[in-house]
Chains A and B, each alone.
Chain A
């Protein structure tokens, strides 16, 4: 009995030792884990969350950067919505841009992906060609397009001249400046194209084979298999495209300064102007928060709508 009891006791001791060891090791692992993520957490708190909270506070103040902020409550928001003549103008310009460039980008990127999904010789070269513009820095692209659209020496006008069409100042006329920037946005469809391409290649071949056996033609395959199966990818690109389009800035900043006659006076350009041109950091902060909320609402609406038009391979909708 004694020996059995002694054995049990020593087993318990071993168990509790192992348990304590495990607990210590678990605790150490946990601490080390936290230490590893600490730089990212600190970076997020100091450089993202901190400024966001600060800007929320500034949005309720009159703040010129160099003097102390003065609390004015909802003053900036009231001025913005009711008195600033440029606020609604910049909203209108930005909405027009977003609601034209995003659908064009989605359709263009999808069509391009369909073309580049063909099994033909040298396809990798073409895919690379169409993707390269997306890695060109935005400012370099803007300068490049300024040159391309120049009425005096731009390549676009040179091409039009071959067709005996007189040179035109695309960015210099209020009527064509915004459409020119919308068309220019197609320069970056390579990014979306790659995602569509991945989506297209992820569609199971068995679906097409089964449909063919059932007598489906090429159009049926496209309409009833390709498009539904691509809706999650379209959904992703739509959300990202809208978020990007509402924040458009560089093209107007570099190419048109918001002109001519405010034709390209985007919301973010006005925000920047208020912050660093007029030194109205309080007003700029309130504009930034309005934009943030607006984008959030638009994104939620798109998510809600996805129930009706996004389909998944599992047969479930809107995962």
Chain B
């Protein structure tokens, strides 16, 4: 039997429901189970965990913010298994990143609701550290007999460090390497890349690829270089260093993007598009990676993309990986980039968080990650033991290229003032990428474009001297 509801009854019900909801929201959360913590200092000036002895017990639930799917999710499953194996009283609750991850982290941190442990990557090391989001893992790591920081490849640790603070533990040895399409190179009559190749060798061989076939308008159907990473610091900055230049001087006070040596390196890089015409033009959109589609002979990226390449390429062509060619200074100058895990500086569980993330750089976890093709080991002791490659699916076959590349790999410059951004974000990133795009699209000269970028960055440096 239906019964109509009066306005007053409706308001009464609404008031009761609203009050109930408000009370529920205001009710204190279940008190966290006490943790056995020996020495802990959180937040403050250094945001440093200072656990001098590993806690014996942890109980409760820890929130871990990760990216869905491989490699982050399976790696965290490995870590979780190891962590909860040691601390059975702990539960790990995975939360997943949103498309605008950076905003998600900043807004959650501002609200104090960021997960205890969260995904990080080289590009966020500086901004997260500058904004106090991340815990400094160094004090705890240095006091922890389980962790051997000197066994981690120094450049990978450097990539995870800002102002001597370890912002994240990196996941793997992610050095930019040269993927190549053996089938296409052979078809074009080009040589197969070796670890002795210079960039001149590279250019000469890639010209054969570009000349292989033209379309009706006389444009190349194939290119030597896939343009997917044209503006990545890890593919640009090595050229600057390889030609003896740099992007700052005077302890970071002077921008040197327009200095002669810097411009020489940038000229050699941009010539791949402008003069040599061996790189896929920026205006050519194939609706996917030219390398994966078999339309570009080489692609420069880290080991982390190999599973994606295997899935995309399948048996379409034969491919492998090699060290990047050598620069005029005789070194295989290349960049790096990796993801890792950080601990939220204001987490109530910083010690448990540290115990969780440290597993990322433990030999047993690193070996499992390598076997499952989730990473190339970043511990020297594991990487230099060839057994890590046993049973790893191929292609690529030349897995040691990933390891050898670390010798000459360089770090990005990370000490720009926060307000100026970095290689990854903010004004610096925008200025150099705008300049690079203008040159590669042949809309500006190198000197003009990078002269403008240099001025923009210098202005920002001058305005933020005190930082």
B278 → chain A closest CB, angstroms: 19
Any chain B CB within 8 A of the CB of A262? yes
- On whether the beta carbons of B282 and A66 are closer than 8 Å, the reply is no
- On whether the beta carbons of B109 and A66 are closer than 8 Å, the reply is yes
- On whether the beta carbons of A173 and B133 are closer than 8 Å, the reply is no
Bound complex: CA A172 to CA B440 (Å): 13
Any chain B CB within 8 A of the CB of A276? yes
Bound complex: CA A153 to CA B284 (Å): 12
Q: Which residue of A has the minimal Cβ distance to B15?
A: A35
B162 → chain A closest CB, angstroms: 16
- On whether the beta carbons of B102 and A276 are closer than 8 Å, the reply is yes
Q: In A223-264, which residues have CB < 8 Å from any B CB?
A: 259-262
- On whether the beta carbons of B110 and A260 are closer than 8 Å, the reply is no
Q: With a CB–CB cut-off of 8 A, which chain B residues contact A262? A: 434
B226 → chain A closest CB, angstroms: 14
Q: List 18 A-B contacts (CB under 8 A).
A: A32-B11, A65-B131, A85-B456, A150-B285, A152-B285, A153-B287, A166-B216, A169-B283, A169-B285, A171-B285, A172-B285, A173-B283, A260-B282, A260-B283, A276-B100, A277-B426, A278-B427, A279-B131
Say whether, besides A65-B107, A66-B133, A276-B103, A261 and B438 are in contact (CB < 8 Å).
Answer: yes
Interface string of B126-150 (1 = CB under 8 A from A): 0100011100000000000000000
Inter-chain pairs besides A32-B7, A85-B456, A152-B287, 12 sampled, C-beta below 8 Å: A36-B7, A66-B110, A66-B131, A166-B216, A169-B283, A172-B282, A172-B283, A172-B285, A173-B283, A174-B443, A261-B438, A278-B427
List 6 tightest A-B contacts by C-beta distance, closest first: A172-B283, A66-B131, A152-B286, A278-B426, A169-B283, A150-B287
Bound complex: CA A150 to CA B286 (Å): 7
Bound complex: CA A259 to CA B430 (Å): 12
Q: With a CB–CB cut-off of 8 A, which chain B residues contact A133? A: none
Q: In A132-177, which residues have CB < 8 Å from any B CB?
A: 147, 150-153, 166, 169, 171-174
Any chain A CB within 8 A of the CB of B421? yes
Q: With a CB–CB cut-off of 8 A, which chain B residues contact A65? A: 106-107, 110, 131
Bound complex: CA A279 to CA B418 (Å): 10
Bound complex: CA A169 to CA B11 (Å): 60
Q: How many chain A residues touch B (Cβ–Cβ < 8 Å)?
A: 30
Bound complex: CA A65 to CA B215 (Å): 51
Any chain A CB within 8 A of the CB of B466? no
Q: Which residue of A has the minimal Cβ distance to B217?
A: A166
Dominant secondary structure at the B interface: helix
Q: How many chain B residues touch A (Cβ–Cβ < 8 Å)?
A: 37
Q: Which residue of B has the minimal Cβ distance to A164?
A: B216
Bound complex: CA A273 to CA B456 (Å): 17
B284 → chain A closest CB, angstroms: 7
Bound complex: CA A66 to CA B419 (Å): 13
Q: In A59-117, which residues have CB < 8 Å from any B CB?
A: 64-67, 83, 85
A184 → chain B closest CB, angstroms: 16
Bound complex: CA A113 to CA B404 (Å): 67
Q: With a CB–CB cut-off of 8 A, which chain B residues contact A32? A: 7-8, 11
Say whether, besides A65-B107, A152-B286, A260 and B100 are in contact (CB < 8 Å).
Answer: no
Q: With a CB–CB cut-off of 8 A, which chain B residues contact A147? A: 287
Dominant secondary structure at the A interface: loop
Q: With a CB–CB cut-off of 8 A, which chain A residues contact B438? A: 261
Q: Out of A35, A64, A152, A261, which one reaches B441, CB within 8 Å? A: A261
Bound complex: CA A190 to CA B369 (Å): 53
Interface string of B77-115 (1 = CB under 8 A from A): 000000000000000000000001011001101100000
- On whether the beta carbons of B437 and A261 are closer than 8 Å, the reply is yes
- On whether the beta carbons of B437 and A151 are closer than 8 Å, the reply is no
Q: With a CB–CB cut-off of 8 A, which chain A residues contact B427? A: 278
Q: Which residue of B has the minimal Cβ distance to A64?
A: B131
B44 → chain A closest CB, angstroms: 15
- On whether the beta carbons of A151 and B285 are closer than 8 Å, the reply is yes
Q: With a CB–CB cut-off of 8 A, which chain A residues contact B425? A: 277-278
Q: With a CB–CB cut-off of 8 A, which chain A residues contact B430? A: 273, 277
> Which of A35, A66, A259 neighbours the largest number of chain B CB atoms within 10 Å of its CB?
A66
Q: With a CB–CB cut-off of 8 A, which chain A residues contact B426? A: 277-279
Bound complex: CA A172 to CA B459 (Å): 31
Interface string of B355-381 (1 = CB under 8 A from A): 000000000000000000000000000
Q: In B265-293, which residues have CB < 8 Å from any A CB?
A: 282-287
A179 → chain B closest CB, angstroms: 15
Q: Which residue of A has the minimal Cβ distance to B437?
A: A261
Q: Out of A36, A172, A273, A279, which one reaches B106, CB within 8 Å? A: A279
Q: With a CB–CB cut-off of 8 A, which chain B residues contact A36? A: 7, 11
Q: In A187-206, which residues have CB < 8 Å from any B CB?
A: none
Interface string of B435-467 (1 = CB under 8 A from A): 001100101000000000000100100000000
- On whether the beta carbons of B132 and A66 are closer than 8 Å, the reply is yes
Q: With a CB–CB cut-off of 8 A, which chain A residues contact B100? A: 276
B100 → chain A closest CB, angstroms: 7
Interface string of B203-232 (1 = CB under 8 A from A): 000000000000111000000000000000
Q: With a CB–CB cut-off of 8 A, which chain A residues contact B215? A: 166
- On whether the beta carbons of B443 and A261 are closer than 8 Å, the reply is yes
Bound complex: CA A261 to CA B286 (Å): 19
B304 → chain A closest CB, angstroms: 23
B75 → chain A closest CB, angstroms: 27
Bound complex: CA A278 to CA B422 (Å): 10
